[in-house]
Structure 1
């Protein structure tokens, strides 16, 4: 059975990278958007661009700090009121800094865990409260292939934060199983964004190609989707079964 068109889409972390790219792709598809990030000036520039390029759509923006649950709840509610609700919420905002545990990078690692886990949780709470009232919706959590196994070096806290999102998404999915609320966990591989500068492997794809694959997968509303599907679906399968000594060499630091 085909999925309904998700006309009203909320995207966090929309001022750059994958979030900005998704906003452009969904705008080109005629969707109405609610875009959030900390950098309001960048959101307002994107809003003007999208409204000019696609005059028939609605684009609402607001500054939101995912580290502050009150900010998330307030901004989410305000934007939902402006669009009359949301059909899809994409929990995308996150950070990717970090260092090997025990090497003096505690503050950076803690920030990654706080933003990526608690910030995403706050968005999920707001989204699911709305979806439960509406009786429908599509919740999308942007995870990472780095969540499949423990990652060394600068990816340790990042991979752990994304593994937490996988479990969070599955728990929510189990809770509303059989309802009209869909939950998707999306695991991008290496895509050329600011978040993974210095961590890009030989399988890294460009931002445009990565965003095209990402929006295509999200539109299918899978339980779990890899981006791009090739090579990251088979790579993820391998990572799950390879000895840690091999995973360590493959993933680097």
Structure 2
């Protein structure tokens, strides 16, 4: 079992849900996010419910690229090792291209992709020194194809994250380091709460259970929940452009 797990973006949503699930399994946790007060509350909750585990926290904006390796290394020193690092921090894009919202779209692109590179750099440095570890990148089903409007930039960043994960899988093939690309469908969190008509959306508890189960299997790629997103991902990719344009 991967006992010492680092999760970014752990102050809400999927990150918080994963922390609770792995705490229940007896894992020690290194949790970071921008909202320190949320982390403190989660730390208190988990150590009270599971007094035999360690939960260490640090405030971190993943776009503060110089601090990312510092925080990851300090977590490693505090816990002795890091067995799994989950690159989870991210944000939605809320505007289409050409509507005068470049700064908002730039922020989404930086947070979802450039910051993911910074996290992967820090994680792989630790894992290569240990000659062991499991790196998990949270992409999205939306990364399998371009999407219109407000989803455009978000989908593009998640496609980039998926590609980054596959490249790292090639880099680590034949080594004790595992890399997993997780592609969730619609799981109810703040990032998609305002999305209207989100197809096949599941509640947070159901989604997190499927997410943790998929990560623990350590496959190269997993759609979450498996049904219906695994078969649907192939349908989405195969639809002719004009059919996809009408559907979206």
Q: TM-score range by the shorter chain?
A: over 0.9
* Equivalent position of 2:136 in the other structure: 140
Matching of residues 40-189 of structure 1 within 5 Å: 40-189=36-185
| Alpha-carbon RMSD | 0.9
Check if 1:209 corresponds to 2:223: no
In the aligned structure 2, how far is the partner of 1:53 from the partner of 1:65? 27
Deviates more, 1:66-75 or 1:30-39: 66-75
Q: Is the 8 A contact 1:36 1:63 kept in 2?
A: yes
- 1:202 CA displacement: 2.9
Runs of 4+ in 1 over 4 A off after TM superposition: none
State the TM-score, normalizing by the size of structure 2. Answer: 0.97
- 1:71 CA displacement: 1.3
In the aligned structure 2, how far is the partner of 1:249 from the partner of 1:114? 30
Check if 1:232 corresponds to 2:218: no
* Equivalent position of 1:198 in the other structure: 194
* Equivalent position of 1:241 in the other structure: 238
In the aligned structure 2, how far is the partner of 1:83 from the partner of 1:134? 13
**Corresponding residue pairs, total:** 247
In the aligned structure 1, how far is the partner of 2:101 from the partner of 2:147? 15
State the TM-score, normalizing by the size of structure 1. Answer: 0.96
Query: What are the ranges of 5 or more consecutive residues in structure 1 without an aligned counterpart?
Result: none
In the aligned structure 1, how far is the partner of 2:46 from the partner of 2:131? 30
